[in-house]
Amino acid sequence: MCCDLRQLCLPLQVCDEVGSVRDADTLLPAIPRTSFPPTKSYIITGGLGGFGLELAQWLIERGARNLILTSRSGIRNGYQAKQVQSWKEAGITIVVSTKDVASIGGTRQLIDAASQLGPVGGIFNLAMVLKDAMIENLSTKLFQDVNKPKYDGTLNLDSVSREKCLELDHFVVFSSVSCGRGNAGQSNYGFANSTMERICEKRRQDNLPGMGTCYRKCISRFRIYHPARDTLNCKLYMMQYRIVPVPFSVVTA
């Protein structure tokens, strides 16, 4: 059944005991749900990683029909190939790109390619490189290598999207708790994540979409960590910092 959503925002008319009609403010229960217009295109850098594939599925379930997934090396295993093929068979337009957002030229080419599928509605930067070392052993190159996909990539995506993506609804970077709390041996990674968040803060000041999501250690499907050990670490961390877990149904609404 179809209805005009604007009607749900109007005060309801109710009858009192003597039969007269009066207006009453009534709260209607509603469940918020993010949606993505099928006429727009969506870019996921690092889109063939574990997080990238799950994010792509989440976008598709909420309406997205045109996606560009970037990866420096393209499809490398059967799971990636199976996911991409299943989406294509369902009528979803999936483009796998090796364009590098660490360069301004690669970023322009990527956004131009996405614009051919439809106005760019969302940019999600999940690209990352890990090169851990204690700070006394971190070279300039180790800092640069880790910062290219995150700092340079986000800076280029911000710059080009301001010019070319006039219908952008979402600009999201996948950050890490390492940029605030810090992790041993990850000064370069923490710095790179922090710069992404600062870029998003500037975008918000300019009334543009910008959001950073901070993750800690994740299950082995997405990152190289030991599930049993890190489940305990996560519980201890949440107890130490008094973090209240949010139900998954709320996060993915």
Q: What's the confidence (pLDDT) of residue 239? A: 56
Nearest-Å Rg of the Cα atoms of the chain is 22
Question: What is the value of pTM for the model shown?
Answer: 0.75
Nearest to 71, CA basis, from 105, 118, 106: 106
**Rounded CA separation 186/142 (Å):** 10
Q: How far is 235 from 231, CA to CA, in rounded Å? A: 6
Nearest to 188 by CA among 125, 142, 136: 142
Q: Which of 25 and 124 is assigned the larger pLDDT?
A: 124
What SS3 class is residue 215? strand
Q: Give the whole-angstrom CA distance, residue 67 versus residue 73.
A: 18
Q: Is 151 left (phi over 0), alpha (psi -120 to 50) or beta?
A: alpha
Calculate what percentage of the chain has a pLDDT beyond 90.
52
Euclidean distance between CA atoms 242 and 141, whole angstroms:
37
Distance set, CA 240 to CA 94, 95, 233, 235 (Å): 42, 43, 10, 9
* CA 226/CA 237 separation, integer angstroms: 16
Residue 56 has pLDDT above 60, yes or no: yes
| Cross-strand bridge partners of residue 120 | 41
- What is the phi/psi pair of residue 34, to 5°? -70, 140
Among 45, 149, 57, CA closest to 97: 45
Average pLDDT over residues 180-186: 75
Structural domains for the chain: 41-215 (3.40.50.720)
Helix (H) or strand (E) holding 48: none
Confidence of residue 220 (pLDDT cuts 50, 70, 90): very low
Q: Is the pLDDT of residue 245 over 70?
A: no
Q: Which tens digits make up the pLDDT trace of 197-219?
A: 999 999 999 999 999 887 655 44
Beta-carbon contacts of residue 198 (< 8 Å; ≥ 6 apart)? none
Percent of the chain's residues with pLDDT above 70: 74
For residue range 64-108, list pLDDT tens digits in order: 999 999 998 899 999 999 999 999 999 999 999 999 999 999 999
Count Cβ atoms below 10 Å from residue 49 Cβ, excluding itself: 20
Q: At what angle do helices 153-164 and 187-205 cross, to 10 degrees?
A: 20
Residue 52 CA neighbour count, 13 Å, CB half = 27
Q: List 170's β-bridge partners, or say none.
A: 122
Residue 248: which residues within 8 A CB-CB, separation 6 or more?
none
